Structure 1
Amino acid sequence: MTTATAVPSRPRGGLVPHPARATVLGSFDVEIGGVSIVPAAMKAKQLLALLVLNEGRVVQSGTIERELWEEPPRNAANAIQNCVLQIRKKLAAALGEDGCGPAVKRLLRTEPAGYRLDVTLDRSDLRRQRELVAEADELEARGDAAGASAKLQEALDLWQGSPLGDLIPGPVLYAQIVRLLEENKSILMRRVMLDLKLRRYASLIGELRALIPLDEYDESLHASLMFALHMTGRRDAALSVFRNLRRSLHDNLGIEPSRRLQSLHRKVMLDSPADPVRLDDIPWQANAPLTKAGAA
């Protein structure tokens, strides 16, 4: 089972007199002192999202152009500067300063290669998610599966819909969104694995039945449901899960289930005390995101 990305070291941000908060695991927002600095124009909003996701690092001008335009205009540099000005005006309003003043320019810096948001986001849902995953790592290493599961669920609860859900992403942000969804799926499947170890079968059965329609070809979800049903004495229901998946794969994709899932099916079908179904029989696909956004 792969784990989510380790928590990066916190960059040294600019001096902001009020708490800075960012939400990306749902509708996008950035606040300083409770005042949103997200501009209304979509391209300026996309630029701010790039700056936030690259917290404290330079976003190169070429990257910005690829995000904002399929074919950059001749005046792309001026258009980017206009987006920067819109963000700086929102920063100035939050700080009560001049939009062209030195303090605002220090927070959204013009660099030789591009632009950098030099604001430490003290309250970021993405940063908090990764902190919780790191805490889960420590708890699991100490043998506290229940504590680790609780931390992972707390991380999942941070999600309020599709990441950057109110943006129209270009290719750069789209790739970032896919990575966030992969990270979310990894956390989810890791928590499912821990709950299976903890024999929380009853609660998992309902949850997995709700998740499967969101990714109807995901073998990990189907196998986890088969395992939970089998362990609660519902062998026929477990076999039905396999049959439904196999039919869907065959009819829609022209393929068969993986060998590991077929092996799990055989073990459930035989139900032999000499070769019982084990948690290790489940084929894990932790990194494939749920196909319908907002499933977290």
Structure 2
Amino acid sequence: MYLDVLGGLRIGPAGGDAGPTAPKQRQLLGLLALRANATVPVTTCVRELWDDHPPRSAATTLQTYVMHLRRVLTRAEAPARLLTGERGYLLRIDPEQTDLGVVREWARRGDQRAAAGRPAHAARDWQRALTLWRGPVLADVRIGPVAQEIIGHLDQWRLLLIDRYLEAELRCGRHRQVVAAATTLAGRHPLREPIHASLMAALYRSGRQADAVLVYQRLCAALSRELGVEPSAAVQRLHRAVRTNAAWLEPPAGPPAEQPVPTIRRPTLVPAPSSGAS
């Protein structure tokens, strides 16, 4: 891949970075990369770079930044072109040359395989998508209000991918693997109910009923302390099932694609925000 945003901003072959060093130029390239293959209006670029306080020379300065970015892309021999249109600027690049484009493709394949009743294949595809997430989006780039909104949507989309991945692994009977993954994720996201639900189910299936109850108690405490609410009805039902050894919590007994287990929670996997959104 040649243009990466899921972590620090990088241009060039894997392991290298031929990107710009000037903060404003990196900020502009980050925004254009998030909306690759769609025109970003000049007004949107100006808002991203200067928020509500643009200088009088904003339009001219923006043109200068674009000129420098074109030179950067040329020096890096990047398979991308920065085009100027009537309304704004467009970074044209094959989605397969960007980590975000590849992640979207793996997520799409996972969705299709899950819909076809193939949870093992779906889990593999979603795991591949998640593996490409090196860290916070544009972690080493100054973020303005426009990019911040896009990144917020991407962060929520990543959590939905995680939810679906853990659920698919449980459907395949791989509860011990889920325990390891979900334990770490629950620590990072103490208020995320689907992650905790997957961890509870995985612990129970691993013969750790008491630990599953403790996970629920920690979730209750965190939700009460931070949000003043109780767990959802679905998670409360799961907690009761754990305490009463409900039969529906038992792991699947046959091939994962043919022996689905009751869903703990299945959030709708929304697509990543369109690169053309304003």
TM-score (norm 1): 0.78
Larger Rg: 1
Contact 1:61 1:114 in 2 (8 A): yes
Distance 1:287 1:245, change over 3 A: farther
Change (3 A) 1:88 1:36: farther
CA contact (8 A) 2:96 2:102 kept: no
Deviations 1:73-108 (A, max 9, x none): 111101111211211222343459xxxxxxxxx932
Contact 1:189/1:286 (8 A) holds in 2: no
Alignment correspondent of 1:86: 68
1:198 aligned to 2:172?
A: yes
Provide the C-alpha distance between the structure 2 equivalents of 1:203 and 1:49, rounded to a whole number of angstroms. 35
Per-residue deviation at 1:151? 1.5
Corresponding position: 1:54 with 2:28: no
Q: How does 1:172-191 map onto structure 2 within 5 Å? A: 172-191=146-165
Aligned pairs (5 A) from 1:1-296: 21-31=2-12, 38-70=19-51, 71-94=53-76, 107-120=81-94, 122-273=96-247, 276-277=248-249, 280=262, 282-284=264-266
SS at match of 1:109: strand
Q: 1:286 to 1:225 in 2, by over 3 A?
A: farther
Q: How far, CA to CA, are the matches of 1:209 and 1:215 in structure 2? A: 10
Conserved in 2, the CA contact under 8 Å of 1:218 and 1:285? no
Whole-Å Cα distance in 1 between the matches of residues 129 and 97 of structure 2? 14
**C-alpha root-mean-square deviation of aligned residues, in Å?**
2.7
Closer/same/farther in 2, CA of residues 88 and 251 from structure 1, 3 Å limit: closer
Q: 1:226 aligns to what SS in structure 2?
A: helix
**What CA distance in whole angstroms lies between the structure 2 residues aligned with 1:285 and 1:143?**
16
Q: Report how far residue 33 of structure 1 moved.
A: 11
TM-score (norm 2): 0.83
> Using the alignment, how far apart are the partners of 2:178 and 2:20 within structure 1?
42
Residue 53 of structure 1: how far off its partner (Å):
2.2
Taking structure 1 as reference, are residues 150 and 217 closer, same or farther at Cα in structure 2, changes over 3 Å only? same
Structure 2 unmatched runs, 5+: 251-260, 271-278
Q: Distance in 2 between matches of 1:126 and 1:139?
A: 20
Query: In the TM superposition, what is the alpha-carbon distance from 1:169 to its structure 2 partner?
Result: 0.6
Which stretch of structure 1 is more off in the superposition, 191-200 or 253-262?
Answer: 253-262
Number of matched residues? 258
Which residue identity does 2:71 align to in structure 1?
A: K
Contact 1:65 1:76 in 2 (8 A): yes
Q: CA offsets per residue over residues 166-216 of structure 1, 9 Å max, x none?
A: 111101111121122222212211111110001111111121111111111
Partner Cα distance (1:138, 1:253) in 2: 35
1:107-160 per-position Cα deviation (integer Å, ceiling 9, x unaligned): 322222112223435421111112212222343344332222112111111111
CA contact (8 A) 1:110 1:116 kept: yes
Quote the offset at 1:253 in angstroms: 3.0
Identity %: 33
